[in-house]
Structure 1
Amino acid sequence: MANFRRCGKDSWGSEADLINDLATNIMGLLALTPSNEFDDFVGIEPRVTEMKTMLSLQTKEVKVIGIWGPAGIGKTTAARVLYDQVSPKFQLSTFLENIKGSFERPCGSNDRQLKLRFQEKLLSQIFNQKDIVVGHLGVAPQKLSDKKVLVVLDEVDSWWQLEEMAKREWFGPGSMVIITTEDRKLLKALGLEANQIYEMKLSLDLGSNKIERENNVLYYFPWINKTWFCL
C-alpha cells in the first residue's frame, strides 16, 4: 500500500477507524488493478478475433453460430471471452454453462416440465431475478421476442437440448445464440453452414521465446513434467 502513510496505533482514534481506513485503501488499490482474467489462457484472443468475423452484429436476423471442438480445447473459455466483449451490444444477455450437466433428458421424463424448467433458468439469468415461475411454454417468447438478446449455450450434447433451447423465434431482431459442443453433427442438424461453425483446433504457435514456449506446452499438455525442460 504505497499511499498508506499513517503508522502506529495512535494514528487512529479507534480500532474501527483503523479497519475502515484499511478497507478504503485496499478497495482503492483493487480499483486501480487492471483485469488479467484471461492473461493465462494461451492463444484465446486470436481465436476470439476470428469468431467475431462470423457474428455480423449489424444484422436484423436472429443469428446462430457454433463453436465446435474436442473436450479441453478451450471452447468454453473462448465463448466466455467473446461473450464478455460483445454482450454490451445487446439489450439482454446470459451465459448458460454446462448444459449437458444441467439439462439431461432422463428416461421417462416429463418433457413439458423439463422445458418449463429451462425457460425458468433462462429468464431468471437474463433478467437477474431468482425464482421466476413459468406456467406455460409461451412465456419466454412473450418476454423476449421484442428484445435484442445474446444467449450462450455451453456444452450442448444432445439434439433435444438444441431443439428446445436454440429457438430463433423466441428472440427479437439482431439477437444471437452461440452454442459450444463437441459434436459437429448437432450443429449441422440445426442447419448451420460451414461459415457459421468455428472449429477450435490445437494451436501450433507455441511462442517466440523459451518461457512462452514452455508455458504454452504445459498449458496444452499438462501431463508433461516441467522438469523435462531443464534437461
Structure 2
Amino acid sequence: MLDMIQLLDKDIEQSNDVILLGMWGMGGVGKTTIAKAIYNKIGRDFEGRSFLANIREVWERNFGQVELQEQLLFDINKEMTTKIQNIESGKNILKDRLWHKRVLIVLDDVNTLEQMNALCGSSKWFGSGSRIIITTRDKHILSRNRVSQVFKMKHLDENESIELFSWHAFKNATPTKDFAEISRDVVEYSGGLPLALEVLGSYLLDRSVIEWQCVLEKLRRIPNNQVQKKLKISYDALNEDIEKEIFLNIACFFIDMDTNDVTHILNGCGLFAEIGISILIERSLVTVDAKDRLGMHDLLRDMGREIIREESPEVFEERCRLWFHEDVLDVLSKQTGTKSIKGLALKLPRANAKCLSTKAFKEMTTRLRLLQLDGVKLDGDFEILSRNLRWLCWNGFPLTHIPTDFYRESLVSIELENSNVKRVWKEAQVLLSISFYLNFRPGCTFESNSWRLL
C-alpha cells in the first residue's frame, strides 16, 4: 500500500495536468482501503475533494445517479441549493462549476461506462492539477485511454497477511504461540486477500483451537458468507448467462489448463469462449499466466463452486456440476445421476481405483458435456456414457483402445494420459461431424501412453 501511495504522491507533485488514475483488481483486494488512504493523505493539497463510495450500489437506487452528481457538487463547492433534474443536466452543471478548480475525486467501485461518463466525462471538466482516482473490478472501463495509468492491485505476501490477520484475530501484530501454526493455515486459505483475512480474523477472535480447526474444515467445503457475498458481486455483474457458464466451468474443471485447449472445448459447447474468457479476465475473475494457462484465485474458485452447491445443498445429483469426490462417488455408486448434470469430475488415488458401471451415467447423457476421470475404471455400455460429451479427460485410462461403442460424434477433445492405449480405435473410424488433430505433449511419444486428441 505504501508503495502505491508514494507513487501516486510523486506523480501528483510533478504534473499540473488533469490525471485520471485507475485501480483495478478483484473484490476484497483492498482497492477502496488504499484509495481512502491516498485521499486522506493528499486531500488537503486541493481546492476541493470528494470521495464517492459504493457507486455501483448507489447507482441502482431510485434517483441514485443524480444523487451522486449532487454529492460531488456539494463536497467540492458546498452547494446545497442546486438540484439536478437528470443525468444530462448534471453533466453540464458539473462542467460549469468545476472546470476552474483543482480537485481530488475518488470514484469508488465503478462498474459501468455510464457511471464514468456521468461523473467524470472528460478531463476538461476539472481544473489544472486535478486528480481523479477510479477503483473498479472491470479493466475494460479503464481502457482506450480513459485513464492515464492503471494500477493492478496485488495480493498481500505471507508476512503482510499474517500481520493483518493477527490484528483482527488477536488484536496484536503476531499470533499467540498456541495459534501460530493454524493461523498460517488460515492465511494460506485466504490467499493474500485482505477481505478474507479481516473477516476470518474477526470471526475467529476469542475462539478455541478446536473451534478454529472446525471452521477451517468447514471453509474447505462451504465459504464464509461475508466473503462469498462480496466476491459474488463480480459474478452477478456478468451480463450474459454464457459468461457465467464459462466461469463456472473454469472454476470446476479447467484451472491450470492451456487457454487455447479450454477455448476449443468451450466453443464445442457453444459458449463463444474467446470473448467470454476475455471478459472474465477484464472483470478480475480469471487470470492467464506467462505459459498461457488459466488461473483463478482459490476464493473465487470456491465462490463459483458454492453457487453450484447452493442450487441443491442436500441432493448432490440435482446440481449442474459435480467435482467433490465424496459427492460424485455417492451419485455414481448409487446410480442416482440426473439430467441436471452438465459436468462431472472424479479424481481418486490410483491405489484406490474404483470400478463403476456406465449405467450410472444413463440419466445424465442428455446434458453431460464435460467428464474428467482419474483412478476410475468403468464397465458396461460406453454409448450410455458418451452420447453428448464434448470433453473426455481420463487419466489412467485402463483399456488398450477406445471401445467401439463409444459415441464420438459430439466430441471435440479427448485427453488420455498415463493410459494403456496401444491404438486409438480397434477398427478404422470415419469422423464426419468434427475435425480432430493429434497433439503430443512435449517429450512424449505414442509409446509413452500420454497423448491427446483435440
TM-score, normalising length from structure 2? 0.35
CA contact (8 A) 1:90 1:149 kept: yes
Correspondent of 1:212 among 173, 178, 185: 173
Q: Alpha carbons of 1:132 and 1:58: their partners in 2 closer, same or farther (altered >3 Å)?
A: farther
CA contact (8 A) 2:19 2:147 kept: no
- Give yes or no for the alignment of 1:173 onto 2:128: yes
Match of 2:139 in 1: 184
Q: Alpha carbons of 1:50 and 1:61: their partners in 2 closer, same or farther (altered >3 Å)?
A: closer
CA contact (8 A) 2:18 2:127 kept: yes
Deviations 1:21-77, CA, capped at 9 Å, x for gaps: xxxxxxxxxxxxxxxxxxxxxxx4344234434x33342211000111111111111
Whole-Å separation in 2 of the counterparts to 1:67 and 1:138: 27
- Give yes or no for the alignment of 1:119 onto 2:73: no
CA contact (8 A) 1:157 1:183 kept: yes
Q: Alpha carbons of 1:179 and 1:68: their partners in 2 closer, same or farther (altered >3 Å)?
A: same
CA contact (8 A) 2:58 2:65 kept: no
CA contact (8 A) 2:58 2:68 kept: no
Whole-Å separation in 2 of the counterparts to 1:99 and 1:185: 17
- The AA in structure 1 aligned to 2:142 is L
Match of 1:39 in 2: none
Q: CA deviation at 1:153?
A: 0.2
Whole-Å separation in 1 of the counterparts to 2:28 and 2:65: 29
CA contact (8 A) 2:19 2:132 kept: yes
Map 1:96-107 → 2, pairs under 5 A: 96-104=52-60
- The AA in structure 2 aligned to 1:45 is L
Map 1:31-50 → 2, pairs under 5 A: 44-50=1-7
Whole-Å separation in 1 of the counterparts to 2:55 and 2:48: 19
Match of 2:156 in 1: 203
Whole-Å separation in 2 of the counterparts to 1:157 and 1:190: 17
Q: Alpha carbons of 1:155 and 1:129: their partners in 2 closer, same or farther (altered >3 Å)?
A: same
CA contact (8 A) 2:24 2:153 kept: yes
CA contact (8 A) 1:62 1:173 kept: yes
Match of 1:110 in 2: none
Match of 2:84 in 1: 134
Correspondent of 1:85 among 41, 61, 70: 41
Higher relative contact order (CA 8 A, sep 6+): 1
Correspondent of 2:29 among 64, 73, 76: 73
Deviates more, 1:174-183 or 1:138-147: 138-147
Match of 1:33 in 2: none
SS in 2 for 1:133: coil
Match of 1:94 in 2: 50
Q: Alpha carbons of 1:205 and 1:164: their partners in 2 closer, same or farther (altered >3 Å)?
A: same
Correspondent of 2:15 among 50, 59, 73: 59
- The AA in structure 1 aligned to 2:26 is P
Whole-Å separation in 2 of the counterparts to 1:115 and 1:76: 20
- The AA in structure 1 aligned to 2:77 is F
Whole-Å separation in 1 of the counterparts to 2:39 and 2:55: 16
What count of residue pairs does the alignment treat as equivalent? 179
Q: Any gaps of 5 or more consecutive residues in structure 2?
A: 167-171, 176-182, 214-454
Whole-Å separation in 2 of the counterparts to 1:176 and 1:74: 20
CA contact (8 A) 1:58 1:174 kept: no
Q: Any gaps of 5 or more consecutive residues in structure 1?
A: 1-43, 107-112
Q: Taking every aligned residue pair, what percent have the same amino acid on both sides?
A: 27
TM-score, normalising length from structure 1? 0.64
Match of 2:112 in 1: 158
Alpha-carbon RMSD across the aligned residues, in angstroms, is 3.3
